[in-house]
Structure 1
Amino acid sequence: MTATYGSTITGLGAYRPHRVVTNADVVRETDVTEDWIEERTGIRTRHSAGPEETVPAMSAEAGGKALAMASVDPSEVDLVILATATKRDRIPGGAPEVASRIGIPACGAFDLNAACAGFAYSVAMASNAVRLGEARNVLVVGAEHLTAYIDPDDPATYVIFGDGAGAAVVSRSSGNDIGPVVWGSDGGRAKILGTKWADDGREYASMNGPLVYRWSTKNVPPVAREACVRAGVDIADIDWFVPHQANLRIIEQLSEILGIPDEKVARDVVDTGNTSAASVPLALSRLHESGRTKPGDTVLLLGFGAGLAYASQVIKMP
């Protein structure tokens, strides 16, 4: 089978829960200080979902905004992909509910769990479906409810994670505005970032921060470089760099290694925290909403995290 169409991102949308959690709020639940949090993570605030702000509910809000920006009617969506690792009910998947909430009739719908790399994985799959003529428009959503998995006795995870959803519409195009994906995994070291079961019967996020930092800053930059090569773009010509918003220190180190100037780097993590699969689309949406981007800007996306899974591609802004 050969590609028949091009693919492009035509719309973006975001949803951040109403409750904003400051570092001052966090320190009341832990034994760390506000300075400790900001020095190690760069995070100042994050959002925490309420009982009604479920993964499907947040996804539908973000997805509806993305469709509106794209001027795509729900009836024109053929596939919904929901990237998430934190939907509490494993069965059924959340994507069919997202489609139903938005009013998308009888579309294909499935969940994808590549954790923090989930959005990049999903964009690649959506692009392939569009290019092969299997779908006209694909709604891709990255959404997480990570605050349901944080333990106040574990500051390494309690202070960084937040909730939210970001979405993109991938549509048919005459050009190829979504570059080839570079993806992979390192399952032999998967246990440095995942979950654990506590004595109280709850499942909590678990992370070896120093090992995650060393692994990501050593192994992820070559992936980003290769994505630029495959897209036929010099990394110096990238207009924006939108990596997974793990923490500010990792983002700054990756940017320095890749030689990307500070003014071209998304830093949504400062106000939104680490939202895993939602982090890249949330940061992408915020860049668009800020008015700092223009249609056709070249953006390097880079997702990496639990698994250890990673993925990168070059796209153009809608």
Structure 2
Amino acid sequence: MYINRVSHYLPSQVIGNEYFTELNNLSSEWIVERTGIHERRKAGPDENTNTMAIEAVRILLETIPYSKNEIDLIVGATYTPYDTIVSLAHAVQHYVQLPDIPVLSVSSACSSLLNAIEIVEGYFAMGKATKAIVVVADHNTAYYNERDTVSGHLWGDGASAMVISKERQTESDLHIRALITGGAATSGKAIEAVVLRPNERGVVMPYGRDVFQNACTYMPKVSQQVLQRCGLTIDDIDYLIPHQANHRISLNVIGTLGIPESKLISNIQRLGNTGCAGCAIALSEHFDRFEKGQRIVFTVFGGGYSYGAMLVEV
């Protein structure tokens, strides 16, 4: 499989740490020390998960190396849906006007990007598709409780989209060499550590320490596994793009793996935790910097718990 192009969309509204200082008496220094976040993006009153996803797809379609009519699969991913019936992927299908193709949306919390790509892998393997749109978006600020002093200041909004093909299309394509996902609902306080129950309350994280500890365990572990599957070691990778949950987690992961900070790609400082869109947004932001032969590992961890890693090569 090959990632042909990638795009992203970010809302224009920027929320700095001083907003939470005034709201919750949390100093900017405290927030930065604990999370690495200086500011985040917030969707406007006329925006939602679907509109952000559609905007990312609009940008994407301006750059794809083939006709949109060749796309025969759309997979969406979000844990903050605007509509639970007209899913994210259906909204995108309506926008791109591609009838009678498989369209579905998935959720495995912040790991959803890799699960969406793995679904594409399955469709390709079965011969049911050859070119796919994967679109990820999270509208965290529609669900969060901004007065929650534990996690209210973590969240940002954003979307990203990519086209993936079964066969190489251009020299700049990223070759997906290996992909692993897994569930870890049996670990620690997985089913209660971070939850979003719309009928009860917003996003809450009563066991943040458990989330931190398990993320710091699973992300390095699965990164090693995806490299071993390809006969490679940590020394063979050029960049690591982790789920943008907390900069301290990212630093812990590269410390465990023995990767220098110069190889870490991070956007949480500017964007906050953009959920399952974070890694894809980071890929889009840095797509032009990657050179032929370089290898990039993506590693994710989400509530529930869920985890995964993917190795791509330019």
Equivalent in 296, 299, 305 of residue 302 of structure 1: 299
Label 1:97 to 1:301 Cα distance change in 2 as closer, same or farther (>3 A).
same
The answer on 1:313 being equivalent to 2:310 is: yes
Tell me what 1:190 maps to: 191
- In the alignment, the residues of structure 1 paired with residue 208 and residue 126 of structure 2 have an alpha-carbon distance, to the nearest angstrom, of 40
Moved more, 227-236 or 61-70: 61-70
The answer on 1:231 being equivalent to 2:230 is: yes
Name structure 1 gaps, 5 residues minimum. Answer: 1-6
1:292 Cα deviation after fit: 2.5
- In the alignment, the residues of structure 2 paired with residue 12 and residue 22 of structure 1 have an alpha-carbon distance, to the nearest angstrom, of 27
* CA offsets 1:150-171 (integer angstroms, 9 cap, x no match): 2133122111110000111111
Show the 5 A alignment for 1:1-150: 7-150=1-144
Aligned-residue Cα RMSD (Å) equals 1.9
Label 1:217 to 1:20 Cα distance change in 2 as closer, same or farther (>3 A).
same
1:37 Cα deviation after fit: 0.6
* 2:62 partner amino acid: A
Label 1:253 to 1:94 Cα distance change in 2 as closer, same or farther (>3 A).
same
- In the alignment, the residues of structure 2 paired with residue 273 and residue 167 of structure 1 have an alpha-carbon distance, to the nearest angstrom, of 19
* CA offsets 1:9-56 (integer angstroms, 9 cap, x no match): 000000001111111123222121111111100011111011322111
1:96 Cα deviation after fit: 1.1
* 1:258 partner amino acid: L
Moved more, 276-285 or 67-76: 67-76
1:202 Cα deviation after fit: 5.4
Label 1:73 to 1:52 Cα distance change in 2 as closer, same or farther (>3 A).
farther
- In the alignment, the residues of structure 2 paired with residue 176 and residue 265 of structure 1 have an alpha-carbon distance, to the nearest angstrom, of 18
- In the alignment, the residues of structure 2 paired with residue 98 and residue 71 of structure 1 have an alpha-carbon distance, to the nearest angstrom, of 19
Moved more, 221-230 or 173-182: 173-182
Answer yes or no: is the 8 Å Cα contact 1:11–1:68 preserved in 2: no
SS in 2 for 1:307: coil
- In the alignment, the residues of structure 2 paired with residue 127 and residue 315 of structure 1 have an alpha-carbon distance, to the nearest angstrom, of 14
Show the 5 A alignment for 1:271-310: 271-288=270-287, 291-310=288-307
Answer yes or no: is the 8 Å Cα contact 2:182–2:308 preserved in 1: yes
Answer yes or no: is the 8 Å Cα contact 1:130–1:138 preserved in 2: no
1:145 Cα deviation after fit: 0.3
1:88 Cα deviation after fit: 3.5
Equivalent in 193, 203, 206 of residue 204 of structure 2: 206
Answer yes or no: is the 8 Å Cα contact 1:74–1:103 preserved in 2: no
**Higher fraction of helix:** 1
Answer yes or no: is the 8 Å Cα contact 2:3–2:174 preserved in 1: no
What TM-score, normalized by structure 1, do the two folds share? 0.90
* 2:291 partner amino acid: K
Label 1:310 to 1:258 Cα distance change in 2 as closer, same or farther (>3 A).
same
- In the alignment, the residues of structure 2 paired with residue 9 and residue 88 of structure 1 have an alpha-carbon distance, to the nearest angstrom, of 27
Label 1:62 to 1:253 Cα distance change in 2 as closer, same or farther (>3 A).
same
1:63 Cα deviation after fit: 2.0
* 1:86 partner amino acid: T
